[in-house]
Structure 1
Amino acid sequence: MTILPSTSHWGAFLAEVDQDGELRVRPHPADPAPSPLLDNLKATLGHRSRVAAPAVRRGWLEHGPGPDERRGRDEFVEVSWDEAFDLVAGELQRIRTDHGNQAIYGGSYGWASAGRFHHAQSQLRRFLNLVGGYTAGKGTYSFGTSMVLLPHVVGEAHSVLFNGSTWPTIVQNTELLVAFGGVPAKNLFVTPGGVTKHTMPGHLHDLARSGVDIALVGPFRADLPSTVEARWYPVRPGTDTALMLGLAHTLCAEGLHDKDFLDRYCTGYDEFERYLTGGEDGVVKDAAWAAAITEIPAADIVALARRMARSRTMITVTWSLQRTQHGEQPVWAGIALAAMLGQIGLPGGGFGHGYGSMGDVGSTGPDVRIPALPQGVNPVREFIPVARIADMLLNPGGQYEFDGSTRTYPDIRLVYWAGGNPFHHHQDLNRLRTAFARPDTVVVHEPYWTATARNADIVLPTTTMVEREDFGAGRRDTHLIAMHRIAPPAGLARDDYAIFTGLASRMGVSAEFTEGRTVRQWLEHLYQGLGDEVPSFDDFWAAGELVLPQGETDRTLFADFRSDPDTHALPTPSGRIEITSATVAGFGYDDCPSHPTWLEPEDWLGGPRAQDFPLHLIANQPSTRLHSQLDVGPTSQAAKVAGREAIRIHPADAAARGIADGDIVRVFNDRGACLAGAVLSEELRERVVQLPTGAWFDPVADHPSGALCAHGNPNVLTADRGSSRLAQGCTGQHALVQVERFDGPVPPVTVGRRP
């Protein structure tokens, strides 16, 4: 047996297949804090949920393309690769001829593999661009709202999201860390493209020993490791903006704000102050006002504001806070609050976005661009914000607003999905099922029979990361890892490159797609993009890794700006931080005004919906898998309760409902319902429940209680609406629900096997 290197989005590893055909995995020897998610890889080979051969839905095969409500409910027929290629190529050509390339939606979310060549999104886009283009999805579910907002406020988004102060800088310089949404350690193991050395747990350990004062703002104490001491402010979910406004008003009322910084580096503060003091609407946004909304005592709000003013303060806002209705507001308000303190651009001070949301935010690793497969140019200019896919499929020709423009949804006839599982990350899954019944054809590349595959017409089985060759490295990774093929493909699975090569041959673009290269030749070609200073490809491949050069440590957008705001002006219309944006004001959006504003969401405990659904559900990222990937793996399965996803509930709320630890419960609202396993915990505030995303969607057909997921996917409960007309971002973090003990016949979980 040969031990071979590879990497994943949650860590580099060494692996072998033993004499019984089992995959054995151990972490990279340089990793000081390996991710427990590596154990999930043991489910990659030969699991009964693998797609064994190309498969076509019987109804589509017998009756041809067209809208069909049997998607997701029909059986599949296995076919040969040649027949599958002919069917897909023929349908692509029909759609192009009859409806145009804008009728093809190229869906992919980029998380299928850490490999830079076998990056499903790049493979799909390269192929579709060569055959005339496609309607694209723009942005991300993770931070799509911030990507649209931040350019209006500070000129661009990437630097704020990924080039903030490093953790060592925070440990050495910050006196007070105010963490809205906390710093959830569970997210620090994951970075797109992989991570060889998990340094974030060590930085949190240093933070705990440094004496930095920490204010944890959020409904979960576990959003900061228990080893890190903090003052916990268990804010009512969805009201962080109101708390920030109460803090800002205190700074203003007590003269603690930095007027010189606001005058020199910002624009629009006067209008914002007028709003804080009630000049716009007659409502003073003081600590007492904020206390009534947030349920944080007014005295605590005033005391925190004063501590912030007398300390080197870093305000950090997790990405989770912008995955809500009006998600633009806490990000914008956090920047305004940091600006009032006058510390933006100082080491360890100012504003950070995403600490604890991803493993590379605050990392000290090198900033090296790893070559990837060229995608080409899309001739079709149509796109949608990525989280508006169901709206697009259900409303062809309908109009919507986005970032100052009015756009029209195209009439999509073919959905081509490679990489990603929309039935994991999209909202209101019962609505998405209805939407997926509308196109003529749905084609999906998948290693497993996920809900996305089950709702397709043609399913093409793909290899996993351990069944092909590639190389991978994440943002700020310390190593480029040679991803050796560790095991042969399961069944008839092929990699995406082989699949698109077969289709390209039938559509007359084979030479353009492959450029005459095999996979290994592509890897050698891309590796050469690293320059002449690196070892030869053969030496790299034999060694299994390349140590990447160390880059700069702190690369913040605001350091140079602070030194000279005229020479280093921000790329905003004013060149300054726009606390009030004239551009956004010009859009006229009542759901995203010109400056940070408290806007009451539909789903919150202070609103009328709470009378029927009195618990606030937080659908956050899981700690036992990456999104929905390898939910069938041992780490993910070990965390299930009675085979369902675990829902955490406060003991007082459980007792009021007659729920005991380990009970199966029904979680429901007027959008849908799911079953979950109850776990009682005092580390969340009362009237809040936590059900992580990523349990494979398992709808029960014709259940007496209505639309029901047997497995515990919270996105049967979340609302499919945009954050606002500005960003149209994902709002899947919050929902109001009721929870009851489930005493009826318990339906089985079926998603762990083939349909």
Structure 2
Amino acid sequence: MGKILDSTIGSDISRRKFLALSAGAAALAGAGMAGCSPKKESASTVTEHTEPIDAEEGATWVTAACWHNCGGRCLNKALVKDGVVLRQKTDDTHEDSPDYPQQRACQRGRSQRMQVFGADRLKYPMKRKNWSPEEPHGELRGEDEWERISWDEAYELVATEIKKIYDEYGPESVFVLGGSELPRVFQLMGGYTPRWGQVSWGAWPDAYAMIMGSPGYSSDAPDRLTLRKQKLVILWGANPANSSAGNPTYNYLQAKKAGTKFVVIDPRYNETAEALDAQWIPIRPSTDTAMILGMINHIISQGLHDKEYLDKYCVGFDSEHMPSGEYPEYTYKPLERNEFVFASEPADPSQNFYDYVMGEGAFASEGAKTPEWASEICGVDAETIKQLAEEYATTKPATIFAGGAPARINEGECLPHAMLTLGMVCGQIGRDGASVSGTMHNSASNGGGALVSPGGAGVKVELPANPFPQKQYALNNGEMWNAILNGSHTMYKGETRDVNIQMIYQGMGGALNQRQAMTQGIEAHKKVEFVLTMNYVLNTSAKYSDVVLPVTTEWERPGTLLTGNREILIYGQHITDPLYEAKSDQEIAIGIAEKLGFKAEEVYDIDETQQLFNKLAGCTVLGSDGATKEPLLTITQDDIKEMGVTGEPQEGKITLAEFKDKGIYQVERTEGDAYTNLPFAKFIEDPEANPVATASGKFEICCQSLAGYIDHVGFSEKDPLPKYVRITEGYEDGVENDRPFQLLTQHYQRRSHHVFDNVNWLREAWPQELWINASDAAELGIENDDPVRLSSPYGSVVRPAFVTQRIMPKTIGLGEGAWAELNADGDDIAGATNTLSSPIPTGQGHTGFNSNNCIIEKYSGELDPDCEWPQRVIFE
């Protein structure tokens, strides 16, 4: 493959010739590569150079979008000649330093050209061979052959089918799994049924907002300079080295160098723990709340709790500080449901948190939540629980950064509630930057609002409102497949609604692969009359469709603006013209709309280049006072003319030409600047003058509004206190049901969720392995690389074993996002974690991915390395 790329780089070739070569190179990448070959050859597939390489004549370095949901948005530059990407590099716009770090791309961004120019790009519109509007043959979805069709035929087929479904079943029968462009057309047609439910952050969003009175569940944390002043940082179920691309791990390293101690609590000894040389405390999945309660019990028993803080800033800790009921009516506007109005009532003083955790008063019969009690559940030694409890209570300031994983379980709301209560008990929220929050993704290690922001696209066309809005009629992620199969779903407590879904549309994303109970989702896809997908590769959602329309990537569009951490804005630019017959999502939406009898301007009143200009012109940066937003870009009349758009010249901090040349604007931080983030500092300074936006105006250990909201949603119930409850598909369920292994679904360096799983460069470097503890493997007779089957009531996967001491016994680790490949026996040999997950909605409607009870056994069949599998190439 290196020779192929060498010959490509070293010669003048046509774009068509390059595509042919890149297809051949990508095909070769599927065989005999490092990570697959018994000789473990070098993973490098390009020529190594010992000296810097000058840009070739006629080639230009251009900032290329890396637009995926990895938490990074790093600087990614491509050397482009005649629309061909010869090489890639990352941030070299300034000298790297801890205070002013470069925004370096990870391995996923560096492999982007194999994604954009991959041999498996969808080249033409296509339909299933045995599908027709009259005879859909849904049972063949996922197995049928594909036929190439023209764009005009595709538009006609899709428009005819959409009209038929709207006429026969009504707009509610159209279910949108993802994407925003074609749904604009659906709104013109009379509406559609959307979906709802928190995914990445688990139970954090609504729980945090109602307990703390802030929407900042992911950003109420110290910024990266304040982080260095924290004496102790607990990373609880957080692994930014894998799941927060970019600079978070680097920022944590700077804090470690400044003297911060790090503790990682995780079922795995993860990459972040290794990088920080952190203390590792292994814990059983879904049992974190028990450990937290054990810590609080020990802190109180040792007299280390901050009684003054609890009395002044919190309600619900003891019988003297319970909610009084004398609060004004509390209105909460959830992210995805109708607003919830709560009328407070006096709380029973006997139902206070102190008595619960200490096993006194009304809770005497339940017993104290001691470290010993917690140890039996969570698997952490009682002495370790005590040691960490004392260290956290006495080390000031200390911060807890929680990943989404611990709260990404069924009935998960008690976890953030208990963790926040731990911070309150120790007075570790709002003082000296200390905090407790679900700080992950692009806010990991650097809390606070954005310092530089893009403008809006400026699309002003007014669409008819969807009469079936998300806040009332949407299907929850945990219920949607069952709703399609059985015809009803939960509206609110005691209220169900009939639904008749006959069309599934998937634009952006890959919900079939990435949501709970994928095997049930495949059944749902096979049941309906029509499935339409728009994508640039044949991912799992596209594979189970009737018509698939090829879309362009961001590299083939006019450009885009990308936000990463709070300090940067990246200008991803046009790299190459659309490949093959691919079109943008907006172009496709307009094409379908016109076949339905609408005009293009009824869908989008301005084109994508004008939208890009509006975003550029609207860019703002926070001034040095930390309060005033200023225009970022100086734009001239010549700039406007060159882009071929309409607009007005303006003055800003840098020129558009400079922004385009660098591809990034980064706010330079200095110690003591106005960009410091100190969450809740004003509330701590004067709680009467600066109440938080909870029902009581204080932090709520007894949170009646959260309990009321969850009861109102109708999936399950929650006590107003942060109690330990037995989790559905949690540790206790597995022991009782003879499925003793808990599946831990981890983010993985090979992918950004499901994106990049088709890139063989990454497949060869990071095999999709199934982590198993060495003691469990020995008991089952499993050795390293043995193929094993992991089964749940919902499906089974087969993957090679990775035998290690780096994972908790009776816990199985598997990277989420693999593209499912079901064999004749129904086993998913790719290892998609949602083959195993359960269709169970609970609490506020979040997704409980991160604990599924399974059994494991040796697999008798053969399993070739997945980087040797043929790619999903349709039409050479």
Assess same fold via TM > 0.5.
Answer: yes
Q: Which residue of the partner structure matches residue 105 of structure 1?
A: 175
Q: How many residues align?
A: 720
* Residue number in structure 2 paired with 1:118: none
Q: CA deviation at 1:688?
A: 1.9
Pairwise CA distance, 1:17? 5.0
Letter in 2 for 1:325: N
Aligned counterpart, 1:193: none
Query: Aligned pair 1:336/2:421, yes or no?
Result: yes
Q: Is residue 2:743 matched to residue 1:743?
A: no
Instruction: For residue 361 of structure 1, report the CA deviation from its aligned partner.
Output: 5.2
1:34 and 2:87 correspond: no
| 1:353 is the counterpart of 2:353 | no
1:50 aligns with 2:121: yes
Amino acid at match of 2:429: I
The reply to whether residue 69 of structure 1 matches residue 154 of structure 2 is no
Code of the residue aligned with 2:293 in structure 1: it is: L
Query: Which shows bigger deviation, 293-302 or 601-610?
Result: 601-610
CA contact (8 A) 2:75 2:104 kept: no
1:536 aligns with: 635
Change over 3 Å in CA distance of 1:306–1:409 after alignment to 2:
farther
Distance verdict in 2 for CA 1:682–1:416, change over 3 Å: same
Structure 1: tracts of 5 or more residues without a match: 109-120, 190-197
- Greater displacement, 564-573 / 122-131: 122-131
Is 1:581 aligned with 2:703? Answer: yes
Aligned partners of 2:311, 2:603: CA distance in 1, in Å? 56
Shift of the 103–487 alpha-carbon distance from structure 1 to 2, 3 Å rule, reads same
User: Could you tell me how far 1:635 is from its partner in structure 2?
Assistant: 4.1
What is residue 492 of structure 1 aligned with on the other side? 581
Moved more, 415-424 or 533-542: 533-542
| Counterpart check, 1:392 vs 2:470 | no
Structure 2 residues not aligned, in runs of 5+: 1-58, 94-101, 319-351, 621-630, 640-654
Aligned partners of 2:476 and 2:845 also within 8 Å: yes
Is the Cα–Cα contact under 8 Å of residues 44 and 464 in structure 1 kept in the other structure?
A: no
Equivalent position to 2:287, from 239, 245, 264: 239
Partner letter of residue 71 of structure 1? Answer: R
Deviations 1:359-388 (A, max 9, x none): 555257843332344596534322233444
Q: Which amino acid aligns with 2:370?
A: D
C-alpha distance in 1 between matches for 2:695 and 2:755: 42
- 1:514 Cα shift? 5.4
| Structure 1 letter corresponding to 2:466 | N
Q: Match of 2:308? A: 260
Partner of 1:473: helix, strand, or coil?
A: strand
CA drift at 1:306? 1.7
Q: Percent identity?
A: 24
Q: Is the 8 Å Cα contact of residues 42 and 634 (structure 1) preserved in structure 2?
A: no
1:362-401 matches, within 5 Å, as 362=446, 366-373=450-457, 374=459, 377-381=465-469, 382-399=473-490, 401=492
Query: Does structure 1 residue 731 correspond to structure 2 residue 845?
Result: no
**Counterpart residue type for residue 518 of structure 1:** D
Could you tell me the TM-score, scaled by structure 1's length?
0.89
**Counterpart of 2:368?**
284
Structure 2 counterpart of 1:389, one-letter code: M
User: Map of 1:89-488 to 2, 5 A cutoff?
Assistant: 89-108=159-178, 121-157=179-215, 159-172=216-229, 174-189=230-245, 198-222=246-270, 224-270=272-318, 271-278=352-359, 279-280=362-363, 282-312=366-396, 313-355=398-440, 357-358=441-442, 360=444, 362=446, 366-373=450-457, 374=459, 377-381=465-469, 382-399=473-490, 401=492, 406=495, 408=497, 410-476=499-565, 478-488=567-577
- Alignment of 1:521 with 2:521, yes or no, is no
Report the equivalent of 1:116.
Answer: none
Question: Residue 532 of structure 2 contacts residue 546 of structure 2 at CA under 8 Å; is this kept in 1?
Answer: yes
Change in Cα spacing, 1:24 to 1:477, as seen in structure 2 (3 Å) is farther
Measure how far apart 1:684 and its partner are: 1.7
Shift in CA distance, 536/163, structure 1 to aligned 2, threshold 3 Å: farther
Cα distance, 1:480 vs. partner? 3.5
Structure 1 residue 290: Cα displacement: 0.7
**How far apart are 1:266 and its partner, in Å?**
1.5
Deviation by residue 1:508-545 (Cα, 9 ceiling, x = unmatched): 44344455433212211332223655122736265353
Amino acid at match of 1:540: L
Q: Is the 8 A contact 2:513 2:754 kept in 1?
A: yes
Q: Secondary structure at the match of 2:192?
A: coil
Q: Structure 1, residues 646-667: CA drift from partner, whole Å, max 9, x if none?
A: 1222222222223222222222
Are the counterparts in 2 of residues 423 and 697 from structure 1 also a CA contact under 8 Å? no
Supply the AA of the counterpart residue of 1:413. Q
Q: Any idea what SS the aligned residue of 2:276 has? A: coil
Contact 1:613 1:738 in 2 (8 A): yes
Out of 595, 603, 609, the position equivalent to 2:721 is 595
Q: Deviations for 1:397-450, whole angstroms, at most 9, x for unmatched residues?
A: 33354xx68453633222211110113311222111112223221111011111
Letter aligned with residue 618 of structure 1: L
State the alpha-carbon separation in 1 of the partners of residues 799 and 609 from structure 2.
Answer: 45
1:14 is the counterpart of 2:77: yes
Structure 2 CA distance for aligned equivalents of residues 665 and 18 of structure 1:
47
State the alpha-carbon separation in 2 of the partners of residues 350 and 102 from structure 1.
Answer: 44
Q: Distance in 1 between matches of 2:496 and 2:431?
A: 41
Q: Determine the structure 1 residue equivalent to 2:871.
A: 752
- Describe the shift of the 1:608–1:525 C-alpha distance in structure 2 as closer, same or farther (beyond 3 A): closer
The answer to whether the 8 Å contact 2:172/2:192 transfers is yes
Partner residue, 2:831 = 712
Structure 1 40/266 Cα, relative in aligned 2: closer, same or farther at 3 Å? same
Q: Distance in 1 between matches of 2:399 and 2:295?
A: 14
Whole-Å Cα distance in 2 between the matches of residues 618 and 338 of structure 1?
A: 26
Does structure 1 residue 616 correspond to structure 2 residue 742?
yes
**What secondary structure does 2:75 align onto?**
strand
Q: Secondary structure at the match of 2:414?
A: helix
Contact 1:478-1:548 within 8 A present in 2 as well:
yes
CA shift in 2, pair 1:748/1:475, >3 Å: closer
CA gap of 1:653–1:20, structure 2 versus 1, over 3 A, is: farther
Alpha-carbon separation, structure 1, partners of 2:543 and 2:307: 59
Aligned partners of 1:273 and 1:310: how far apart in 2? Answer: 20
CA contact (8 A) 2:443 2:566 kept: no
1:628 to 730, 739, 754: 754
Is residue 655 of structure 2 the alignment partner of residue 568 of structure 1?
no
2:736 & 2:580 partners in 1: Cα distance?
50
Instruction: Write the distance in 2 (CA, Å) between the matches of 1:751 and 1:258.
Output: 61
Between the aligned partners of 2:604 and 2:519, the Cα distance in structure 1 is 42
Q: Is the 8 A contact 2:692 2:698 kept in 1?
A: yes
2:38 counterpart residue number? none
